[in-house]
RNA sequence: CGGAGCGUAGCGUAGCCCGGUAUCGCGCCAGUUUUGGGAACUGGAGGCCGCAGGUUCGAAUCCUGCCGUUCCGACCA
């Protein structure tokens, strides 16, 4: 490709609205332009990278027997109502105003509507169907460039099986394919346990790229034996010791104390872990009170795992009604609503000498003995793990890092096939719902995550399969006809040899300008043809990542490149 | 959705408090000189100062409303 014929609007200055590295560089390198919040135009250079990523995905999906589809983004609202997701998604789904259609944020419903009619016998199964297509999500707050957009490209795949063992197999195939895909894309990633939704027992894993720009927090260890999204991570944590002192319950006046920090200052002699922190959740008609140690936080995702995704934090006005006090003064004793269900964290199992809210504003109780003073507590792991805690097997300490979710694989089960009545007849002639899995990859996120991991002060550093161009050919002295002629000749040769070359054939632009552009857009090898070197039959090679330059004989170029790629 | 910031030429910005013909850099066009790390000089083009209303002799500047956008948080497969 000749740069004169290639639209590559590079920018020297940092765009004012971009904050994360990948966003800045994708704009500066002429890959994308923002149209409106969370919506980006892909320019030729950016598209080239996205297409390379898509092709890797396509190859690996085909390799596990995936069949490519292309479904519409527009779909009837009715279809989403049938699975309840029209309501679940709410505002996150774009709805068409002048027709009863929605813009699909994912495609379980549409694929299932096809399986329903066409996968009717166990002989039709298994199937793996996928597509690479635009998704629309009305994110309340798009951010970080293409990392969270309102329109983005997703590879979404769905497996259809007749048995649960078959689902396991389909799931494992995807797991393998994903490892290949992200490795080929040059990403360093972690596979972590993830939130599996309301259906207990379903497996779910996320493919995470460590990055400061990420929105997720994951838990990893030095030996990599344990990895989990922090939402569902578990660790070894010491139980609060039971003292059996049998001290009697005592009400204490705590005016204006609403947080655990304030309570800790007010009662400096009480161990922080014994200040039991209460939070109230509403799950349909049920009221749930959670109790964790004062130095812990409750994990709402874990609660969702136990009680379903409908569970939510109680509103302030509800607190007075059900608990009889405001947020800072709620506890397990004297809770107003009789039908409250108390869930204590495992650390607090049968603990005593605790301090917690008295369910009366500005009062706390001390010497709470959960065994004695609170009835029917159920103990579960509901806390969020913390940095440096031991893993359950105590072999390693955990680290918490931010990361970008680039892929997610998920055993769906029969949620959608049941809702939409996609059933097949098994060998005995019995009708059964198809067993499904769903598997997603964010195409632009791969690109952004790659850049987050591969850049320096000068710009992007591309390498490997997703590299848009392998070689940038630079004529350093365009005012010298023989230098230009020689560069042209080398360009033709490189093309014949099958390299993807970006030839900076712009006339009258200083060499320095071309070098800066080449560094910014990150081409791995720069071949520089300059007057001085050429006189001696030499050309210069620059390796983008290391910055290393070498002078070689013209004739050595072919061998050098064969070695480099 | 709550909080904060920003909106001036293609990009990055000054001016706004304290109202009086819109600043600078990059980029762009023409010419000359340059040509190995974002060249120099000269000349030029380019602006409903986000939109609407108000105050005023006069508004980029003050007031009101709206829109857009970014960040923090909440939410979110």
Average confidence (pLDDT) over A179-192: 97
Distance in angstroms: CA A22, C1' B15: 33
Q: Between the CA of residue A279 and those of A57, A288, A291, A292, A375, what are the distances in Å?
A: 44, 8, 7, 9, 17
pLDDT digits (tens, 9 = 90+) for A202-226: 789 999 999 999 999 999 998 888 9
With tokens 């969702």, the residue in question is A304
Please name the nucleotide lying closest to A474, CA to C1'. Answer: B36
Please name the nucleotide lying closest to A440, CA to C1'. Answer: B77
Q: What distance in Å separates the CA atoms of residue A552 and residue A545, rounded to the nearest whole number?
A: 19
Q: Which of residues 360-399 of A touch strand B (CB under 7 A)?
A: none
Torsion, Cα A258 A262 A266 A269, to 10 degrees, reads 120
Distance in angstroms: CA A494, C1' B33: 35
Whether the CB of A202 is less than 7 Å away from nucleic strand B comes out as no
Whether the CB of A105 is less than 7 Å away from nucleic strand B comes out as yes
Please name the nucleotide lying closest to A92, CA to C1'. Answer: B76
Nearest to A195 by CA among A419, A409, A442, A434: A409
**Residue A195 pLDDT more than 60?**
yes
Q: CA A470, A510, A498 angle in degrees (round to 5)? A: 20
With tokens 């765009």, the residue in question is A15
Whether the CB of A321 is less than 7 Å away from nucleic strand B comes out as no
φ and ψ of A492, to 5 deg: -60, -45
Binned at pLDDT 50, 70 and 90, residue A197 comes out as low
Calculate the average pLDDT of chain A.
93
Greater pLDDT, A300 or A202: A300
Q: Which of residues 455-514 of A touch strand B (CB under 7 A)?
A: 458, 476-479, 508-513
Distance in angstroms: CA A95, C1' B65: 28
Q: What is the pLDDT of residue A199?
A: 46
Please give the ipTM for the structure prediction: 0.95
Nucleotides of B under 7 A from a protein CB: 1-2, 11-13, 25-26, 34-39, 68-77
Whether the CB of A405 is less than 7 Å away from nucleic strand B comes out as yes
With tokens 């003073």, the residue in question is A373
**Residue A196 pLDDT more than 80?**
no
Distance in angstroms: CA A30, C1' B59: 39
Q: What is the pLDDT of residue A261?
A: 84
Average confidence (pLDDT) over A216-244: 92
φ and ψ of A561, to 5 deg: -70, -40
Contacts of A33 (CB under 8 A, 6+ apart): A27, A40, A41, A43
pLDDT digits (tens, 9 = 90+) for A473-516: 999 999 999 999 999 999 999 999 999 999 999 998 999 999 99
**Residue A55 pLDDT more than 90?**
yes
Q: What is the pLDDT of residue A307?
A: 84
Contacts of A135 (CB under 8 A, 6+ apart): A73, A104, A105, A106, A151, A152, A153, A154, A156
- pTM value is 0.94
Q: Provide the token pair at A466.
A: 């997703």
Q: How far is residue A19 CA from its own chain's centroid?
A: 18
Average confidence (pLDDT) over A191-205: 74
Whether the CB of A541 is less than 7 Å away from nucleic strand B comes out as no
Average confidence (pLDDT) over A224-247: 92
Residue A403: Cβ-neighbour burial (10 angstroms; 0-12, 13-18, 19+): buried
Average confidence (pLDDT) over A168-187: 97
Secondary structure class of A324 (helix, strand, coil): coil
Secondary structure class of A118 (helix, strand, coil): helix
Residue nearest to nucleotide B36 (CA to C1'): A511
**Residue A317 pLDDT more than 80?**
no
Q: What is the pLDDT of residue A312?
A: 84
Least confident of A103-107, A247-251, A375-379, A380-384: A375-379
Distance in angstroms: CA A555, C1' B77: 55
Whether the CB of A549 is less than 7 Å away from nucleic strand B comes out as yes
Torsion, Cα A271 A274 A280 A281, to 10 degrees, reads 100
Whether the CB of A47 is less than 7 Å away from nucleic strand B comes out as no
Distance in angstroms: CA A19, C1' B17: 29
Q: What is the pLDDT of residue A324?
A: 86
With tokens 């590559």, the residue in question is A8
Q: What distance in Å separates the CA atoms of residue A120 and residue A123, rounded to the nearest whole number?
A: 8
The end-to-end CA distance of chain A, in Å, is: 19
Distance in angstroms: CA A137, C1' B45: 43
């Amino acid at each position: 490709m000749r740069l004169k014929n290639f639209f590559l609007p590079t920018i020297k200055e940092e765009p004012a609205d971009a904050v994360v590295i990948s966003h800045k560089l994708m704009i500066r390198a002429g890959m994308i332009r923002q149209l409106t919040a969370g919506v980006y135009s892909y320019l030729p250079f950016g598209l080239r990278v996205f297409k390379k990523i898509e092709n890797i995905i396509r190859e690996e999906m085909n390799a596990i027997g995936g069949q490519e589809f292309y479904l519409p983004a527009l779909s009837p609202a009715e279809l989403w109502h049938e699975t309840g997701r029209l309501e679940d998604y709410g505002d996150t789904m774009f709805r068409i105003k002048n027709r009863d259609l929605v813009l699909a944020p994912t495609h379980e419903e549409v694929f299932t509507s096809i399986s329903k009619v066409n996968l009717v016998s166990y002989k039709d199964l298994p199937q793996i169907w996928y597509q690479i297509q635009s998704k629309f999500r009305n994110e309340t707050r798009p951010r970080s460039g293409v990392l969270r957009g309102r329109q983005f490209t997703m590879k979404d795949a769905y497996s259809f099986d007749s048995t649960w063992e078959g689902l396991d197999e389909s799931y494992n195939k995807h797991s393998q394919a994903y490892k290949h895909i992200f490795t080929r894309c040059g990403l360093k990633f972690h596979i972590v346990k993830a939130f599996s939704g309301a259906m207990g027992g379903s497996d779910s894993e996320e493919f995470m790229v460590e990055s400061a720009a990420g929105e997720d927090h994951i838990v990893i260890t030095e030996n990599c034996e344990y990895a989990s999204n922090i939402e569902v991570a578990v660790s070894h944590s010491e139980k609060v010791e039971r003292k059996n002192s049998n001290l009697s319950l005592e009400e204490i006046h705590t005016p204006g104390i609403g947080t655990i920090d304030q309570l800790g200052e007010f009662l400096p002699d009480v161990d922080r872990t014994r200040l039991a922190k209460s939070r109230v959740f509403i799950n349909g008609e049920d009221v749930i009170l959670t109790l964790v140690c004062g130095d812990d936080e409750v994990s709402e995702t874990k609660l969702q795992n136990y009680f379903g995704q409908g569970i939510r934090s109680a509103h302030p006005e509800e607190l007075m009604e059900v608990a009889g006090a405001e947020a800072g003064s709620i506890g397990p004793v004297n809770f107003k609503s009789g039908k409250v269900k108390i869930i204590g964290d495992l650390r607090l199992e049968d603990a005593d000498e605790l301090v917690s809210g008295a369910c009366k504003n500005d009062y706390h109780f001390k010497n709470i003995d959960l065994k004695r003073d609170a009835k029917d507590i159920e103990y579960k792991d509901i806390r969020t793990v913390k940095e440096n805690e031991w893993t359950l097997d105590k072999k390693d300490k955990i680290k918490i890092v931010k990361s970008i979710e680039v892929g997610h694989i998920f055993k769906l089960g029969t949620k959608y096939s049941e809702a939409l009545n996609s059933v097949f007849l098994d060998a005995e002639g019995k009708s059964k719902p198809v067993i499904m899995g769903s598997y997603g990859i964010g195409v632009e996120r791969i690109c952004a995550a790659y850049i987050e991991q591969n850049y320096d002060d000068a710009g992007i550093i591309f390498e490997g399969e997703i590299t848009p161009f392998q070689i940038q050919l630079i004529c350093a002295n365009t005012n010298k006809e023989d230098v230009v002629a020689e560069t042209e000749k080398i360009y033709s040769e490189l093309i014949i040899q099958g390299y993807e070359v970006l030839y900076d054939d712009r006339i009258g632009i200083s060499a320095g300008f071309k070098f800066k552009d080449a560094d910014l857009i990150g081409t791995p090898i720069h071949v520089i043809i300059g007057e001085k070197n050429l006189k001696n039959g030499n050309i210069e090679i620059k390796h983008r990542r290391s910055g290393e330059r070498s002078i070689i004989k013209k004739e050595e170029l072919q061998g050098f490149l064969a070695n480099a790629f």
